[in-house]
Structure 1
């Protein structure tokens, strides 16, 4: 029977089932949800289908809702993947997030309210994550809040069914020696090149000293002992098992290939547990390198963000906005020589990385690509430089360092840097202006 959509606790299906209480606490009314998307932008056909999705959801027709939602998501997938991502109207992303929400809630109700075991917890989480990856943040990031709520409901934060057996967990705590033995990772040679020296290292650098000696002079530096109080380094120390427990069911984009400049480079969606099993735990010299690189993991999984702290240095700029990205992968992952437009603090949580830094004054000698897409990336392969094709590269002056767990590297805007993981590694970058 038809119900007033402003009283969501009273909306029942034909089977006399209400929304579970955790959904009631999160879900806005049908009318409010419909206002998420502008009909004039997405068109009458899609808007009508969204109405059908919500009517099915709020009338307890969960299976029908899932089916209609999937048809809409398939259509939107094509829409979002046509042309340049930055030119996609936000309303299309709003629509993707809204439909993902309706589908995920229906799936949860099928599993919880109806007791139908054809829907699994991981299926619901994948629906939510696809909404987070492809959609926009709607209704105070409701998809992320729903994910956190469902993880608590299913006890996945404390007991992940996919965590390895106790006798296998020791393999998840990777030391540099373990990684080096399996991958034979080597630091790029500086022979014949213009190495100036090591990047300066300072212990727990004061704000005044940072501004005077590095920020104002546009010089890189490594800051030590400034992360020791972060939960990920102390009370909730990160290791592979902890990351799997907290994020194992979450779907993320993974780069497949040694460098994003390679012709064979591609991306694949997989869960964090699948990524760990395929590319970290069992990693050998065989098969492609995989990297969870430059991903806004902390927006997707706020529980992880609670374990890190934005460095105070990041608030020296004109804006308080800080872009936070995760970099997680096995030893051997590489970020080719490139530069970024913002100030950057790279915080090393797990493992260690080799990093080479060139000032922006060396730009002509590192041979940037001419295309707009890769103009911030060097044509030179730092590990095997072709000095016949790129003769000036051997004159380019650079500093280098090995960034260890608990250390942060500051790099000014437009400074070129090459990064290679020497072990299983988790880094967090903070970009600010």
Structure 2
């Protein structure tokens, strides 16, 4: 990368931040418009935007504050690089500054993507990451940290760990009620199934062309894709989001990999239930939007573009839609500063004309408790194995849904304040409860661990409720119809991609 090109790129970034259109949402941050260059008061404007994002639930934050948070974040990067006043030299290179500040740059920009969606500057942010990924920083890393280079001895570059993710299987159940399988069905045949049969089906030989099936097994691949593991990711910590000790945090990918993935492969205690090992789960995250290059390793199944039927009449999803209230996700975002980009503020599903892809990456015994979603879903297993149990929505009452106003176990019942700023709106106690009516009270994981217990005493009639199940293997996909209750447990270190439509 030439010094000239380097300077031209950063000059372009400066120029774009200095000019905002009159109709840019950022102008609504102040009564008379922004009225100033973001770079004139970087720290003050960033603090203001950060406060707005942490004071209110994301759905109540105006787009202008996401825009200000994004632009102020980029301006903070420019400040780190000494570019708030751009030098006049034509051949000015930033290679030394980039090497010095790479950790800070990655952290600032990833937070702008995670907290604000990089609103209005997504491509600019991705372009900066691309320069960090392919430029002189990576070259210098190879020289100064040779352990991060791929080696012929199979070292991942992460403290001598093997280059493949741990492959050991744990707690593999016996399948008694197998899900029907289809081998690469035609679009016509699959359409008939989802319209007429309306039941889950395991799809074989439908994603075996994905490069991810091989590439994503390698630890070195993930380190390279995340700029030496520096990229930040939001993870869930704890066995299940229904547990008291469940929480969320944002960590560098290398930390997630080292503490929760590679370490889990070294602990035999996870053979039982993972109780002695803290579980970290990169769950329901659109990593493809954060790191677009990962999209090259997968492909949206053609089945996701078929017309799919609505939820069956009388089932919870259909009833919720009739009321004009719909949960968007299976894993709740329960704090004001919860990881995730801004939504559209609506209670209706967001997937009217698009397919939403999310990644699920975690060790054995990561669990999604029994719940249902307001979308059709094709769950594709890329690495490892998952056990999945499904119940028809026609049996919803027997599955003991939680109440809409029931507090999530990990949320204090009163006096809740924001996790970062300690801010509660005057006269209100925000976030005391979240709608968990799409989640069952039944702990399937406990039933798995204690199969001899009389669970009908705990959950009356549960033994008589029919279900289907499978162990989803790498290279297979599972169609989950809209509204079907499903419990998912990893039987090994695993990576899945879900496609909601």
Instruction: Work out whether the TM-score is over 0.5.
Output: yes
Task: Give the superposed CA RMSD.
Answer: 3.0
Q: Following the alignment from structure 2 to structure 1, what is the Cα–Cα distance between the partners of residues 139 and 477?
A: 29
Partner of 1:13: none
CA contact (8 A) 1:296 1:324 kept: yes
**How is 1:268-279 mapped onto 2 (pairs within 5 angstroms)?**
268-279=249-260
Distance 1:338 1:201, change over 3 A: same
**How is 1:53-64 mapped onto 2 (pairs within 5 angstroms)?**
53-55=38-40
Helix, strand or coil at the partner of 2:377: strand
In the alignment, which of 165, 171, 195 is matched to residue 174 of structure 1? Answer: 165
CA displacement at 1:117 relative to structure 2: 7.8
Q: Following the alignment from structure 2 to structure 1, what is the Cα–Cα distance between the partners of residues 139 and 437?
A: 42
Partner of 1:62: none
Q: Following the alignment from structure 1 to structure 2, what is the Cα–Cα distance between the partners of residues 303 and 330?
A: 24
Unaligned runs of 5+ in 1: 1-16, 56-67
Deviations 1:79-130 (A, max 9, x none): 1122322121111111111111222233345696494589421210111100
Distance 1:139 1:78, change over 3 A: closer
CA contact (8 A) 1:132 1:300 kept: yes
CA contact (8 A) 2:38 2:45 kept: no
**How is 1:98-177 mapped onto 2 (pairs within 5 angstroms)?**
98-109=71-82, 113=94, 115-116=96-97, 119-136=100-117, 137-139=119-121, 141-154=123-136, 156=138, 161=145, 163=148, 166=151, 168-169=155-156, 171-177=162-168
Deviations 1:194-247 (A, max 9, x none): x6x11111111211111112443211111111112222135x454222112112
Partner of 2:470: 401
Partner of 2:69: 96
Q: Following the alignment from structure 2 to structure 1, what is the Cα–Cα distance between the partners of residues 203 and 141?
A: 36
Is residue 328 from structure 1 mapped to residue 309 from structure 2 by the alignment?
A: no
- Larger deviation: 341-350 or 30-39? 30-39
Q: Following the alignment from structure 2 to structure 1, what is the Cα–Cα distance between the partners of residues 111 and 23?
A: 18
Distance 1:100 1:223, change over 3 A: same
**How is 1:251-290 mapped onto 2 (pairs within 5 angstroms)?**
251-283=232-264, 284=267, 285=269, 286-290=276-280
Q: Following the alignment from structure 2 to structure 1, what is the Cα–Cα distance between the partners of residues 66 and 127?
A: 18
Helix, strand or coil at the partner of 2:162: helix
CA contact (8 A) 1:328 1:427 kept: yes
Distance 1:203 1:35, change over 3 A: same
Q: Following the alignment from structure 1 to structure 2, what is the Cα–Cα distance between the partners of residues 340 and 199?
A: 19
Q: By percentage of residues, which structure has more strand?
A: 1
Partner of 1:350: 383
Is residue 383 from structure 1 mapped to residue 445 from structure 2 by the alignment?
A: yes
Helix, strand or coil at the partner of 2:461: helix
Partner of 1:296: 286
Structure number with the bigger relative contact order (C-alpha 8 A, sep ≥ 6) is 2
Unaligned runs of 5+ in 2: 84-91, 270-275, 309-351, 406-434, 448-454
Deviations 1:308-366 (A, max 9, x none): 11110111137541111110111111111111100101111111101111111111111
CA contact (8 A) 1:188 1:382 kept: no
Partner of 1:32: 19
Partner of 1:21: 8
TM normalised by structure 2 equals 0.71
Partner of 2:492: 423
